[in-house]
Chain A
Amino acid sequence: MSRTPFIVRFLGATPKQGWIAIAIAAAITLVLLPALHLLVPASSPFHVSAYVITLVGKIMCYAIVAVAMDLIWGYTGILSLGHGVFFALGGYAFGMYLMRQIGRDGSYQSDLPDFMVFLDWKALPWYWTGSDSFLWSLLLVLVVPALVALVFGFFAFRSRIKGVYFSIITQALTFAAMLFFFRNETGFGGNNGFTDFKRILGHSITAPEMRVTLFALTAAMLLGTLVLGRYLVTSKFGRVLAAIRDAESRVMFIGYNPLHYKLFIWTLSALLCGIAGALYVPQVGIINPGEMSPANSIEIAIWVAVGGRATLVGPVLGAFIVNLAKSFFTVAFPEYWLFFLGALFVVVTLWLPDGVVGLWRKLRNKGVAA
Chain B
Amino acid sequence: MARIVGGLGISHTPSMGLAFDAGMKGEWEPAWKPWFDGTRPVKEWLADLAPDHIVCVYNDHLNHFTFEAYPTFAIGVADAFPQADEGWGPRPAGGPPFPPVPGDTDFAWALTEHLIRTESFDLTVCQELALDHGVYSWLPYIADAPWPAPMTPIAVNMIRHPIPTAQRLRDLGAAIRRAVENLESDARVLVIATGGMSHQISGTRFGIANEDLDRYFLANLKDNMPALVDLPQTEWMRLGGTEAAELGIWFAMRAALSDRIDEIYRYQVFPKITGCGVIAFQEPS
Partners in one complex: no
Which B positions have Cβ atoms within 8 angstroms of A? none
